[in-house]
Amino acid sequence: MSEITLVRHGQANTAARDEHSYDRLSPLGVQQAEWLGAHLRAAGLTPTRVYCGTLTRHRQTAVAMGFDAGQLIEDPRLNEMEYFTLAQAMEREHGLPIPQEREGFVAHLPQVFAAWEGGRISDAPESWRDFATRTEAALSEIANGDGPALVVTSGGLVSMVMRHCLGLNTEATARMALAIMNTSLHRLHNIGGAWSPVLFNAIPHLETPDRHHARTHL
């Protein structure tokens, strides 16, 4: 089994409140990805396999990092949950308004996760169980390949991977999802036959003072 490094995509369209509008990188998101790619090359961290979801922001992040589009292994199982679709359903069915600022999502996301897992969103595009199952299946297949793998994906999927590795409950999974930063690194090693995080939410390419403004969550 090989080492797996997960990367959350760069900052997307933060003004969006629907899936289609959100799915593109902002200029800052492109810059974040370029800085990350340069950092990995300088550190000699060259994966033998590069995976990403099929969302535009995933491909844009990988290409901005310096990977050729033709070498990317695209897998829809690595796509993000449709959070805005779930949020719109929560508003229709339970009267929970969609926040207009980041601080509002701190309370909003755990409520959406809890309702989604509990089957209380009737118009959900996929079930919580199906999201968890596809995440675990994709991770298992990547783990069985040869050589270190890099996976460009989204924060919700990264949090579901951590739930699987650490046995987190839904509330803790939601808190983890809220913490994950754009273009952050998350590395898994196989320890004693189980996948364990040895790196979480690392942003070494954004640590210098002139890049602190580029530390974003949305």
Domains of the chain, start order: 4-81+127-214 (3.40.50.1240)
Residues in the chain where the model's pLDDT stays below 50: none
pLDDT at 10: 98
Give pTM, 2 decimals.
0.94
pLDDT at 91: 95
133-152 confidence digits (pLDDT tens): 999 999 999 999 999 999 99
Closest CA to 175 of 199, 197, 201: 201
- Give the number of other Cβ atoms within 10 Å of residue 105's Cβ: 19
pLDDT at 1: 53
